[in-house]
Amino acid sequence: MFVSRELRKNNIAEYLLYMWQIEDLLRAYNFSIEKISEAMVVPYNLAPEESKEMLEWYENLIEMMRIDGVVESGHLQINRNVIIMLTDLHLRLLKSTKVPFYSAAYYKALPFIVEFRNKSNGREKNELENCFDALYMLWMMKLQKREINPETLSATAEISKFISMLSLYYKEEEEGRLDLESEEL
């Protein structure tokens, strides 16, 4: 919870990947608040109020996962909303003449995004969700200490650069510093 707050404020892409991991961890602990407390709260040695707050946060996420119907798989609506917001920003950035480096990063990553989508389970997702799926897959492979082939590393590096740039523009927009309006000639 404390990590998610910081990430949400500073890096929306890392926040989303973190939240996906939390969803998976809640599933792995079979939504048992006792197991979650033992594994994900107690090790932090927090003050009693903070431990209580963190445990309540996990309980609320569990309830939201049940309500959203993502107990088995899928993502919370709050996390899907992040993808929707980022997609909106992405499309505005592509249309803007003020950020040509963003378009260049996107088009450089696009072949890898398409390739990943073609290799994935076939479910239609938007391009950004495919990007996050690729980055999450890489993250999980690293955590599991699995071997990662050089092609995958190269592809996800380009996707990561593109998503990092999108994340930076998102932060600028949140802070009111992003102006995508074309200058009048």
pLDDT for the residue numbered 124: 73
For 61, list phi and psi in degrees, rounded to 5: -65, -40
Please, what sign has the CA dihedral across residues 19, 25, 26, 32? negative
pLDDT for the residue numbered 122: 53
| Per-residue b or e along 9-31, where b marks 16 or more CB atoms closer than 10 Å to that residue's CB | eebbbbbbbbbbebbeebeebeb
DSSP secondary structure letter of residue 120: S
Query: What angle is formed at CA 132 by the lines to CA 128 and CA 134, rounded to 5 degrees?
Result: 115
Q: How many CB atoms lie within 10 A of CB 69?
A: 10
User: Could you tell me the pTM of the whole model?
Assistant: 0.92
pLDDT for the residue numbered 185: 41
CA distance 86 to 127: 11
CA distance 114 to 42: 42
CA distance 47 to 36: 17
Q: Say how many residues make up the chain.
A: 185
pLDDT per residue rounded down to tens, the chain (185 residues) = 788 889 999 999 999 999 999 999 999 999 999 999 999 999 999 999 999 999 999 999 999 999 999 999 999 999 999 999 999 999 999 999 999 999 999 999 999 999 998 888 656 788 999 999 999 999 999 999 999 999 999 999 999 999 999 999 999 999 999 999 855 44
